[in-house]
Structure 1
């Protein structure tokens, strides 16, 4: 990967789950913990429960409902937000994230989280990580009622959080989101190749990327070029 030219970047947009925080928590919850709870409520096996939920997973992927805890609570009849608290001990930062966010601050970059996560999920993760202390602002796509996969999300973002798209870097683990941002006009894009510490990395041939944030050093590059 060729490191971004930090002198050409004023704003850094950061995904949360799989980018700043380990995606293992989310994958474990949706693929193991929730199916077990759903199985118990329906008196079926966890495998049968996952198969039933999978039908909804496929049809909703990339939509706002896919990320909406209220929707899943209504669908399953379970208190999904509260169930997340049962496994909150699995919430954690990806490697080198805090150091990287501090480096961005020292380099004078605006740090804005843009996440598809429901606000209840965001708040749970903030309580367990203090992530909000490392960034300037956190925006959920639910605030705009549009997921990041849509062009409308970026339109809303520009009205709400003024920035120069050509001088903005987006870091995300979703290729679909990066493709949406590229189409809209975000100038600098990076993909996270190892979002889930319990799974193997997934490398994209569409976007440059990183495995961990120690590969990026905004302050060092700026001082070298000064």
Structure 2
């Protein structure tokens, strides 16, 4: 599999966090801000709080609950959606995203964000970035009650969007999601090597990828 041949692509499916938006916001929230709030709420150290939360993290990755703010609100006793607003200043675009999306629009490609993020997270990020104005549609896996790691997600999406899998590109920083899309039959797959601006890039992927969108040629 190679980098996209745009003549062979009609639909571009785009992950949100770590692909279009800097994953630093999410990593900071879950690994720093939430443990601090949990520690204060339960009168424990931040180290104890993170250890306690990590117990809940185990086994949830790749499930809908992993991404569900309502689930985490119930589990922690904290208003997760409200807490995210405390650090919303960290929400931001990854480099060259706006130019990339504008070019796709000029080329007449249909652009659809497909994200595992809960709708409350999606709405907060749209308020802060206006990203929804740059794409044709936004779909949350919560709309289908199936995460992108599930084959059922792609079945729902096909019924909803009526795209040609062979002429569709998915760009995502999650290797598990890309593997799921590959098994289902998405024809073009691309990963992001540098989803979090505050962490080192990771090029360990069986899929072709880029650090930033300016590396793609049209």
Name the TM-score, length of structure 1 as normaliser.
0.95
Q: Which aligned pairs between 1:114-153 and structure 2 lie closer than 5 A?
A: 114-153=114-153
1:31-180 to 2 correspondence within 5 Å?
31-180=31-180
CA contact (8 A) 2:112 2:138 kept: yes
For residue 69 of structure 1, report the CA deviation from its aligned partner.
Answer: 0.2
* Offset at residue 59 of structure 1 (A): 1.5
* Cα displacement (A) at 1:2: 4.6
CA distance in 2, matches of 1:209, 1:8: 18
TM-score of the two chains, using structure 2 as the length reference: 0.99
Structure 1 CA distance, aligned partners of 2:205 and 2:34?
Answer: 33
CA-to-partner distance for each residue in 1:155-177, whole Å, 9 max, x for gaps?
A: 00000011000000000000000
Match of 2:188 in 1: 188
**Alpha-carbon RMSD:** 0.9
CA distance in 2, matches of 1:69, 1:157: 22
Q: Which residue of 1 aligns with 2:217?
A: 217
Measure how far apart 1:217 and its partner are.
3.4
- For the residue of structure 2 that corresponds to 1:59, the secondary structure is coil
Structure 2 Cα separation of the partners of residues 188 and 153 of structure 1: 17
* TM-superposition CA deviations, 1:12-53 (whole Å, max 9, x none): 000000000000000000000000000000000001000000
The separation in 2 between residues aligned to 1:16 and 1:120, in whole angstroms, is: 14
Q: How far, CA to CA, are the matches of 2:105 and 2:98 in structure 1?
A: 11
What is the CA–CA distance in structure 2 between the aligned matches of 1:96 and 1:2, rounded to whole Å?
21
Deviation sequence 1:98-156 (CA, Å, 0-9, x none)? 00000000011000000000000000000000000100000000000000000000000
Q: Distance in 2 between matches of 1:5 and 1:47?
A: 48
Query: Aligned partners of 2:92 and 2:193: how far apart in 1?
Result: 17
Q: Are the aligned partners of 1:38 and 1:78 in contact in 2 as well (CA < 8 Å)?
A: yes
Does residue 202 of structure 1 match 2:206?
A: no
Find the residue that maps to 1:60 and give its secondary structure.
coil
